A and B are shown apart, each in its own frame.
Chain A
Amino acid sequence: MTEGVLTALTGAAHTARWPRVAVVAATWEELGDLLAAGTVDLVSLWAEESVVHAALREGTATAILSVNATQGRFPSLGRHHPPALRLERAIQDLTGLVADGIPDGRPWLDHGRWAGGTGTSYEFLPVEGEGLHQIPVGPVHAGIIEPGHFRFTAHGETVVRLEQRLGYTHKGTAGLMRGADVSHAARLAGRVSGDATVAYAFAFALAAEQCAGIAAPARAQWLRILMAELERLANHLGDIGAICNDAAFAILLAHFGALRERVLRASSAAFGHRLMMDAIIPGGVARDIAPDGVAAIEALLATLHHQLPRLVRTYDETNSLQDRTVSTGIVRAAWARQFAAGGFIGRAAGRDFDARRCGAYGGYDELAFDVPVLEAGDVNARVWVRIRELEQSMTLIAQVLQRLRAAPWQPPIPLPAREGEGVALVESFRGDVFLWLRLSPDGRVAACHFRDPSWFQWPLLEAAIENNIVADFPLCNKSFNCAYSGHDG
């Protein structure tokens, strides 16, 4: 086993980080057992026409296995490994292939409203027992958030089961990328999930550059990391404030919200767009940082260094807040491992994984930073991981500003039109975004697949809310902050 099952399955030592190997159905079945045993992590699962691909990780080894669907059918992995279930349901909806033996074959993204739709009826899982009642919530929620449906079954105030139904924001983004030129597809990638637009554009650019066999100029690489860390700061600040607000502590929302606004303003000053959309492009970055951008970011860091410790102390020392966040919505370490849950959700439940360190892409291997990991798995642990990550992002930004001085501006490198495949795993604020890309000989997109970290986080919310009270759901949900659009695609 030390040699690694993945190496054995892929049959040879590969130089590529993500070798893609065609396997027969029997090997695919074997893979189901390995996933179930926890030997191998499922990173993603997708299909194009009649081929199904599984991206896998075993320790530091990564690979993609591909199996041909025969007569439109392939063996279900979800039968052995629940994290594969929703991905297989999505494959069935989007390609018409059938996952043989799938224990839950209900449609997922297809709500029966697409051309040739199958009808809009949807059976929620049955929940039986005395004194149970159901609370349907959504798709339109009370706040300014994305649409999705939550079906609670409660016993008094206690949640007995939560079942999610997603797919409301499915826009067919991957389908729109097929046949598009790389720059248009990059813009689409930047709109898979607006809050992670930098991470998605980053992942798309890395994958496209891998296809083309080029690397972005040094300065562009540092600017990308700078943007990615600004995006992480903005999201963590906004979400920590919002979590406190959901625990009825509005003053921290006000202060964290103001800090988030300062990050967006500095981002706008430096890169011309508050969310930095379309700033990362294949071949580099769209433009150099603005002349006063560095000063704006340095001023931002000074403000954060001054204000953040006080806000964190207030979070830590306010009993009424701690009363809500400690021991609420616990994600067990075993669940985080089984689902290979990324981001602060996994890291707050003992899963020590961060694509910036484990994948060391784009220049992160030259920078010093810690990956905070906690064990408790509750709302409080998720908040603390994000507080620690704020501090790490601030040190990363300071290091990048140093590096920028020695890296002169170079325009983006044009991508040569050539056939190829590329893979990127980029750490968004929410967790690892996986993106696989194939370019055709004319340099246009032949196929693209992206997997938001939420695919492996949403199911854990269903598990974590069990036995909590209904009133704590907003708090738990916010502490997860899974993507809707990012998930729906």
Chain B
Amino acid sequence: MSKLLWQGLLAPLTEPAPLADAEATAALRALGRELGAATRRRLGRSLAIRELDAGSCNGCELEINALSNAFYDLERFGLRFVASPRHADVLLVTGPVTLNMREAMERTWRAMPAPKFVVAAGDCAVGCGLFTASPVCVGAAEKVLPVDLRIPGCPPDPTGLLRGLLSLIEANQ
């Protein structure tokens, strides 16, 4: 047991931060200007994220979960996952939004206090992916909610997710 504790102290696994996605930062900056200084002051370098699976295959969830492991250590950037939408600044949506999840998605977003962002993560949430022709899916997240940032990939890897989320923070500075 004590060896396990020492191991963590002596050889940290955590890796340097990837660079923020510059293109996304620029686009978000434009958005940030619209939101104004008050928003930036309120959110600062800290964003609380509510993850929402709107019908994904769970591949995206696996990689979003990986953000919390020792290699990526999401919380060092001021990003953290919260349980309640009432505490959230960011709704991180995955999946091709099934008809069965649409209402839950809308209600989760409505429960979040403004200012708030919507991030579509993964090819399904970005553009409906392989499920475009499905009669039981609404489609990309933007068909239901205003999307501020898109992180493609099937699934996006943790570095890609981090780059996208860091660009949200950068844009708020």
Contacts and interface: CB of A to CB of B under 8 A. Distances in A.
B51 A251 contact: no
B66 A172 contact: no
Interface stretch (B17-25, B29-37, B54-62, B164-172): B54-62
A277 B55 contact: no
B117 interface: no
A95 interface: no
A419 interface: no
A194 B61 contact: yes
Contacts, number: 143
Given A146-B61, A251-B5, A171 B157 contact: no
Given A264-B66, A274-B157, A140 B52 contact: yes
A169 B56 contact: yes
A114 B98 CA distance: 10
A261 B69 contact: yes
Interface string A238-252: 100000000000010
Given A194-B155, A255-B4, A171 B69 contact: no
Interface stretch (A185-193, A347-355, A360-368): A185-193
A172 B101 contact: no
B63 interface: yes
A1 interface: no
A485 B70 contact: no
B151 interface: no
Nearest to A188: B130
Contact of A172 (B54, B62, B135): B135
Interface in B77-118: 81, 83-85, 95-96, 98-104, 108
A405 interface: no
Given A140-B52, A261-B71, A191 B59 contact: yes
B1 A318 contact: yes
Interface in B1-26: 1, 3-5, 7-8, 13
A260 B69 contact: yes
Contacts of B81: 143-144
Nearest to B60: A194
Contact of A274 (B57, B63, B135): B63
B55 A169 contact: yes
Interface string A313-330: 010011000000000000
Contacts of A143: 81, 83
Interface size class of B (residues with CB under 8 A): 35 or more
A318 B53 CA distance: 34
Contacts of B133: 176
Nearest to B51: A144
Contacts of A140: 52, 85, 104, 108
A195 to B, nearest CB: 6
A258 B13 CA distance: 8
A144 B100 contact: no
A162 B115 CA distance: 37
Given A115-B135, A140-B52, A274-B63, A314 B69 contact: no
Given A169-B100, A171-B96, A258-B69, A191 B3 contact: no
A255 B3 CA distance: 12
Contacts of B103: 113
A168 B54 CA distance: 8
A120 to B, nearest CB: 8
A176 B59 contact: no
Contacts of A193: 57-58
Interface in A165-206: 167-173, 175-176, 187-188, 191-195, 197
Q: From DSSP, what is the main secondary structure of chain A's interface residues?
A: loop
Nearest to B71: A261
B81 to A, nearest CB: 6
B100 A167 contact: yes
A311 B4 CA distance: 8
Contact of B136 (A114, A146, A277, A486): A114
Nearest to A234: B62
A147 B53 contact: yes
Contacts of A318: 1
Contacts of B62: 194-195, 238, 275
Contacts of A144: 51, 53, 61, 64-65, 81
B58 A168 contact: no
B95 A169 contact: yes
B162 interface: no
Interface in A434-489: 483-486
27 contacts: A111-B100, A113-B102, A114-B99, A114-B136, A140-B85, A144-B51, A144-B61, A145-B53, A147-B54, A167-B100, A168-B55, A168-B104, A169-B98, A170-B55, A171-B96, A176-B133, A194-B59, A194-B61, A197-B59, A238-B65, A254-B8, A257-B68, A274-B157, A277-B154, A484-B58, A485-B58, A486-B58
Given A147-B54, A194-B57, 8 more contacts: A144-B81, A146-B58, A147-B101, A169-B101, A187-B130, A194-B56, A238-B65, A310-B4
Interface of A: 111, 113-115, 139-140, 142-147, 167-173, 175-176, 187-188, 191-195, 197, 238, 251, 254-255, 257-258, 260-261, 264, 274-275, 277, 310-311, 314, 317-318, 483-486
